[in-house]
């Protein structure tokens, strides 16, 4: 029998591939990984399409109780469904290794992820450097390890994709200290928060990785019907309401002439092209 790692794409239940859908329908159990990213639809829509129940796999299950997912996969097919592509997060590589250690065959069904769909903003994927993750700052933890990677990309003239933090089913530490397990409400980092944190780090480091006037591209709900792409300086993007999650941010490097022409469609203050360069930035189908 087989453990399937199946990419679901970026938007809703319809983004699964035909190959992925056929695999899901063959499986006795179907898990949905629900903490590295989110689909922009509820699991009930997945269940209606798949014709079977979907088990939510949170961080605790995937990282601490992975054996529950693998148990029985040597006798029946099991599907582990991932928003985007299965290898967008190292956790899923670990699950594959665990399965192979137990002699369980693994088959992967790939799909679109933010790592390639980000090209929708007009910047060439060949000109992206190392991607970085921006996590929520706290009063006592304000990490800046991403800064060196952004600076290295900047010196090479490369673009940087910034993946923004999401907090799903995070324990309330104060309640935990009192012996109670209480989960905080879900939080999804906005482009605005990410820029504020980036500028705070630049003010501290002062090495010139970016500034208020650096060109950025804010992308919200990539692939959705109300996908939003807005280009402008970081200072300008701070004033944009990007709406509901998920968000990501691109820090632009050196621009090829074609990239510059494409970004004009999304630049704040312009209304040519598809009309998505204003502050709302909503992309219309052409």
Q: Is 18 annotated as a binding residue?
A: no
Q: Nearest-CA neighbor of 280 among 223, 220, 235?
A: 220
Tell me, yes or no, whether 91 and 223 share the same domain: no
> Is residue 128 domain-shared with residue 86, that is, in the same domain?
no
Report whether pLDDT(94) > 80.
yes
Q: Which domain holds residue 19?
A: 3-112
Question: Distance (Å, rounded) from C-alpha 53 to C-alpha 43?
Answer: 9
The pLDDT of residue 157 is above 60: yes
Instruction: Tell whether 92 is in a known binding site.
Output: no
Whether residue 92 is found in the same domain as residue 122: no
Do 120 and 260 fall within a single domain? yes
- What pLDDT score was predicted for residue 178? 72
Q: Give pLDDT tens digits for 189-209.
A: 999 999 999 999 999 999 999
Confirm if 104 and 70 have CB atoms less than 8 A apart: yes
Residue 256 assigned ligand-binding role: no
Q: For residue 181, name the pLDDT band (cuts at 50, 70, 90).
A: low
Please check whether residues 131 and 86 belong to one and the same domain: no
Q: In the chain, which residue ranges form alpha helices assigned H by DSSP?
A: 18-26, 43-50, 59-64, 66-70, 90-101, 114-117, 146-155, 173-177, 191-205, 234-237, 257-263
Contact between residue 191 and residue 249 where contact means Cβ atoms under 8 Å apart: yes
**CA nearest neighbour of 131 among 164, 155, 91, 156:** 164
* The pLDDT of residue 185 is above 90: no
How many Cβ atoms sit within 10 Å of the Cβ of residue 277?
22
Check whether residue 123 and residue 92 sit in a common domain. Answer: no
Please list the residues that pair with 30 across neighbouring strands: 79
Query: Environment class of residue 178 by beta-carbon count within 10 Å: exposed (0-12), middle (13-18) or buried (19+)?
Result: exposed
E strand map for the chain = 3-7, 29-33, 55-57, 78-82, 106-109, 132-134, 160-164, 166-167, 187-188, 215-220, 228-233, 247-251
Residue 259 falls inside a structural domain = yes
Same domain membership, residue 12 and residue 95: yes
Q: Is residue 56 part of a domain?
A: yes
Q: pTM for this one? A: 0.89
Whether omega before 62 lies within 30 degrees of 0, making that bond cis, reads no
Q: Please indicate if the annotation marks 85 as binding a ligand.
A: yes
Residue 57 and residue 69 in contact, taking contact as beta carbons nearer than 8 Å: yes
Does residue 150 share a domain with residue 59?
A: no
CA distance 160 to 254: 11
114 is in an annotated binding site: yes
Question: What CATH number should be reported for the domain holding residue 119?
Answer: 3.30.950.10
Q: What percent of the chain has pLDDT over 70?
A: 91
pLDDT digits (tens, 9 = 90+) for 203-249: 999 999 999 999 999 999 999 999 999 999 999 999 999 999 999 99
Cα 147–chain centre separation: 19
Report the DSSP beta bridge partners of residue 29.
78
Could you tell me if 153 and 226 lie in one domain?
Answer: yes
Domain count for the chain, please give it. Answer: 2
Q: Looking up tokens 């500028």, which residue turns up?
A: 199
What is the per-residue burial (b if ≥16 Cβ within 10 Å, else e) of 116-131? ebbebbbbeeebbbeb
């Amino acid at each position: 029998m087989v453990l399937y790692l199946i990419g679901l794409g970026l938007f809703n239940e319809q983004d699964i591939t035909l190959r992925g859908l056929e695999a899901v329908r063959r499986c006795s159990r179907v898990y949905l990984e629900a903490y590295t990213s989110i689909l922009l639809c509820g699991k009930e829509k997945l269940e209606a399409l798949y014709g079977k129940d979907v088990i939510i796999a949170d961080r605790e299950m995937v990282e601490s109780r992975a054996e529950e997912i693998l148990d029985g996969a040597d006798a029946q097919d099991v599907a582990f469904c991932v928003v985007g592509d299965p290898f967008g997060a190292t956790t899923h590589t670990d699950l594959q290794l665990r399965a192979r250690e137990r002699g369980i065959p693994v088959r992967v069904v790939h799909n679109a992820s933010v790592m390639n769909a980000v090209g929708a903003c007009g910047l060439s994927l060949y000109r992206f450097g190392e991607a970085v993750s921006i996590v929520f700052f706290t009063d006592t933890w304000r990490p800046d390890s991403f800064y060196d990677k952004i600076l290295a990309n900047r010196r090479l003239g490369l673009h940087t994709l910034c993946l923004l933090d999401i907090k799903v089913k995070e324990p309330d530490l104060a309640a935990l200290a009192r012996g109670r397990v209480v989960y905080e409400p879900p939080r999804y980092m906005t482009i605005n928060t990410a820029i504020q944190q980036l500028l705070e780090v630049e003010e501290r480091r002062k090495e010139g990785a970016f500034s208020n006037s650096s060109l950025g591209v804010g992308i919200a709900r990539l692939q959705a019907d109300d996908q939003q792409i807005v280009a402008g300086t970081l200072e300008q993007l701070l004033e944009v309401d990007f709406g509901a999650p998920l968000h990501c941010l691109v820090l632009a490097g050196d621009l090829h002439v074609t990239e510059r022409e494409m970004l004009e469609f999304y630049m704040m203050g312009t209304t040519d092209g598809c009309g998505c360069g204003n502050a709302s930035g909503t992309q219309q189908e052409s």
